[in-house]
Amino acid sequence: LVQLVESGGGSVQAGGSLRLSCAASGYNARNKCMTWWRQRPGKEREEVAAIYSGGGYTKYADSVKGRFTISQDNAKNTMYLQMNSLKPEDTAMYYCAADREYHDYIGCVGPSTYWGQGTQVTVSS
């Protein structure tokens, strides 16, 4: 049974930082992509950042570039999202997802097979 468990969410003031973790069990991310998504109130779910387990590839939404950093510890089977300079518009439920395909020159493609339950991030002004 594959399980993805997010943690690290919480409430923070604008300008603050949080680090989200996504611990995977029953899953080997080898040669696959993992992704952070978020769903803001009243908005559609959006991709925040993606990372290829084989190394050398990350992708960020324009809205978080320069503020968020995605990383992965393959030994711990855990993905992270370091979020700095948080803004009220970053308030959302954050989800991790796994098992997208990776293709050279294209990046992470296709749907994710596995999803976590989400962790809430609230940024106050």
The whole-number pLDDT of residue 56 equals 84
Measure the CA–CA gap between 120 and 8, rounded to whole angstroms: 9
Per-residue pLDDT of the chain (125 residues; tens, 9 = 90+): 999 999 999 999 999 999 999 999 998 878 899 999 999 989 999 999 999 988 889 999 999 999 999 999 988 999 999 999 999 999 999 999 999 999 998 999 999 999 999 999 999 99
| DSSP 8-state secondary structure symbol assigned to residue 14 | T
**DSSP assignment of 35-84, as one string?**
EEEEE-TTS--EEEEEEETTSS-EEE-TTTTTTEEEEEETTTTEEEEEE-
Distance of CA 3 to the CA centre of its chain: 15
User: Residue 90: helix, strand or coil by DSSP?
Assistant: helix
The whole-number pLDDT of residue 48 equals 98
**Residue 98: Cβ within 10 Å count:** 23
Whether 65 and 96 have beta carbons less than 8 Å apart is answered as: no
